[in-house]
Amino acid sequence: MSLDPITSFIVRCQHVSEEESHIKVKLTHVQSNQDLYFDQLDDAFEHIKLLVSKHERKE
């Protein structure tokens, strides 16, 4: 049995404005060292789902 390679992400959230509860989300794809920025956490997770599904289709 072979194991699939692990795809890793780092998610960082920063509060930009405490009064408006505005955040910035930084998503780092560890294998490519690519950073992407989002205004909502849900958008970052949707992007993770997209990358993982693309990776699964390649195999």
Residue 53, in any domain of the structure:
yes
Residue 1 has pLDDT above 50, yes or no: no
pLDDT of residue 4 exceeding 80, the answer is no
On whether residue 33 sits in a domain, the answer given is yes
Write out 9-22 in H/E/C secondary structure. Answer: EEEEEEEEECCCCE
Residue 36 lies in a domain: yes
pLDDT tens-digit profile of 8-55?
999 999 988 777 778 899 999 998 899 999 999 999 999 999 988 887
Pull the structure tokens for residue 26: 């930084």
Other CB atoms within 10 Å distance of the CB of residue 25: 19
Domain count, the chain: 1
Question: Which tokens sit at 18?
Answer: 């405490």
Residue-number span of the structural domain to which 44 is assigned: 9-58
Asked if residue 2 belongs to a domain, the reply is: no
Confirm whether 3 is domain-assigned.
Answer: no
The CA dihedral of 31, 32, 34, 40, to the nearest 10 degrees, is -40
pTM, entire model: 0.73
Taking the C-alpha atoms of residue 11 and residue 50, their distance in angstroms, rounded to an integer, is 15
